[in-house]
Amino acid sequence: MATIKAAEKIKEGSIFGQISALGHEQLVICYDEPTGLKAIIGIHNTVLGPALGGTRLWAYTSEEEAITDVLRLSRGMTFKAAISGLNIGGGKAVLMGDPKMKTEAYLRRLGRFIQSLGGRYVTAEDVNMSTRDMELIGMETSYVTGLPEIKGGGGDPSPVTAYGTYLGMKAAAKKAYGSDVLEGKRIVVQGIGQVGTHLVSHLMKEGAQVFITDIFEDKLYEVAKKTGAQVIQPEAVYDFNMDIYAPCALGATLNERSIPQLKCDIVAGGANNQLKDEDVHGQMLLDRGIVYAPDFLINAGGLINVYTEYLGDYKKELAFQRTEGIYDTCMEVLSLSQQDQRPPQEIAMEKAWGRIESMAKVKLPYGV
Ligand code: NAD
């Protein structure tokens, strides 16, 4: 289980040291002088299928930072796909640069590099990348998903992500309260972006008492007006008197400072990497009696959406239907957590890795 327990902490050291600690199959460095493209593709594990994961464009301050990020993110995709029962592995690409560099040639050059991997890595959108960018990449490779709906793609994944998050929250409520009805519950949604806004709609429809916050005030009041949710200030979140806290903005909001302040029964939200330290802060939540719905399990709707597109003949209803499995998986993980008194994140990761280990008996890594 070294692959599970290792290594969010491994930030330095040799590249092979990091790859070995995190269990990657391959790290691909791509450089193209005429377009300025600097891409790093991380292929973590392809036992279940080709490595699928988005491309992130970011102004990394060093090559080490970019490598650490691609290794961490691609590993996360392996666990997300496995726990969701998808037949794909984990991968990610990072581009070192500025969004201004995204010319047609730059993106098509990336497409050619992806094509050269023969299908071991399939890309999609991530930070600073759009469905239009996927179209340009797709001029050079067939290993791309996240195309616009008008082109037969899955389009914006966030409604599907929000739906899965909502179902995961309901499963957590069932565990904490004996009923998954959210009517009347005081729920704080932190971050009214793509995912947060859709989540608020589900919660309002069910009659929850929803409080929203964001660092962009204008957007906050606009969403409040549209949905009827009440506004709270960003700094008021952690000690707000609530039943459920839904992080939908940044990672690492569950940490040594925030957890002791929390006045809630449940944490269930769409943000990635909510636990600052997986080993420490999952246990802290458990010790405080707070039910935690593992982020990578309940925010997998977006991945399920691009996976559905990758399989071909995309239908939005099918993506939503596949996402419904999140409720049962979350229940199963939370029940085991209660029974064994172990953090749900740990149990979910073991369950994901167990599926890979068992499939490794009948399958080799993809394409090698
Ligand atoms: P987004 O950028 O549209 O929304 C994030 C929102 O959080 C923004 O409105 C931003 O202003 C706000 N925010 C930032 N810092 C904040 C703070 N300190 N307090 C309150 N609000 C703050 O992003 P998104 O696509 O909605 O994604 C939200 C989270 O969900 C991210 O962590 C993302 O990685 C994760 N996620 C998204 C998807 C998806 O389908 N979009 C899928 C899986 C996971």
Distance CA 22, CA 44 (A): 8
**Among 75, 93, 98, which Cα is nearest to 356's?**
75
Instruction: List Cβ neighbours of 343 (8 Å cut-off, separation of 6 or more).
Output: 282, 283, 285, 286, 292, 337
Ligand 1: residues with CB < 6 A are: 157-158, 161, 190-196, 213-216, 234, 248-251, 270-272, 299, 302
Instruction: List Cβ neighbours of 38 (8 Å cut-off, separation of 6 or more).
Output: 30, 31, 95, 96, 97
Q: Is the CB of residue 172 less than 8 Å from the CB of residue 334?
A: yes
Distance 13 CA to ligand 1 centre (A): 31
Distance 238 CA to ligand 1 centre (A): 17
Question: Any idea what DSSP says for residue 127?
Answer: T
Q: Which residue has the tokens 């925030």?
A: 258
Q: How confident is the model at residue 348 (pLDDT cuts 50, 70, 90)?
A: very high
The CATH 3.40.50.720 portion of the chain extends over 158-300+326-347
Q: Is 239 helix (H, G, I), strand (E, B) or coil?
A: coil
Distance 367 CA to ligand 1 centre (A): 34
Q: Is the CB of residue 157 less than 8 Å from the CB of residue 322?
A: no
Q: Is the CB of residue 23 less than 8 Å from the CB of residue 93?
A: no
**Among 161, 76, 74, 165, which Cα is nearest to 123's?**
74
Q: How confident is the model at residue 363 (pLDDT cuts 50, 70, 90)?
A: confident
- Closest residue (by CA) to atom 32 of ligand 1? 271
pLDDT tens, 263-272?
A: 999 999 999 9
Distance 191 CA to ligand 1 centre (A): 6
> Who has greater pLDDT, 268 or 10?
268
Q: Is the pLDDT of residue 1 over 60?
A: no
Distance CA 225, CA 72 (A): 38
At the topology level, CATH places domain 15-151 in Rossmann fold (3.40.50)
- Closest residue (by CA) to atom 3 of ligand 1? 193
Atom of ligand 1 nearest to the CA of 299: 43
Q: How confident is the model at residue 5 (pLDDT cuts 50, 70, 90)?
A: low
Atom of ligand 1 nearest to the CA of 219: 9
Catalytic residue numbers read 92
Atom of ligand 1 nearest to the CA of 295: 44
For residue 11, the model assigns a pLDDT of 53
- Closest residue (by CA) to atom 20 of ligand 1? 214
Q: Is 348 helix (H, G, I), strand (E, B) or coil?
A: helix
The CATH 3.40.50.10860 portion of the chain extends over 15-151
How many helices (H) and strands (E) would you count in the chain?
14, 12
Pocket test for ligand 1, best of 84, 195, 213 (most atoms within 8 A of CB): 195
Full DSSP string of 242-307: -SEEEE-S-S--BSTTTGGG-B-SEE--S-S--BSSHHHHHHHHHHTT-EE--HHHHTTHHHHHHH
For residue 38, the model assigns a pLDDT of 98
pLDDT tens, 114-168?
A: 999 999 999 999 999 999 999 999 999 999 999 999 999 999 999 999 999 999 9
pLDDT tens, 204-261?
A: 999 999 999 999 999 999 999 999 999 999 999 999 999 999 999 989 999 999 999 9
- The number of CA neighbours under 13 Å toward the Cβ of 345 is 26
Q: What's domain 158-300+326-347's superfamily in CATH?
A: NAD(P)-binding Rossmann-like Domain (3.40.50.720)
Instruction: List Cβ neighbours of 233 (8 Å cut-off, separation of 6 or more).
Output: 213
For residue 364, the model assigns a pLDDT of 85
Distance CA 4, CA 78 (A): 11
Distance 127 CA to ligand 1 centre (A): 10
- Closest residue (by CA) to atom 10 of ligand 1? 191
Q: Is the CB of residue 344 less than 8 Å from the CB of residue 285?
A: no
Atom of ligand 1 nearest to the CA of 194: 26
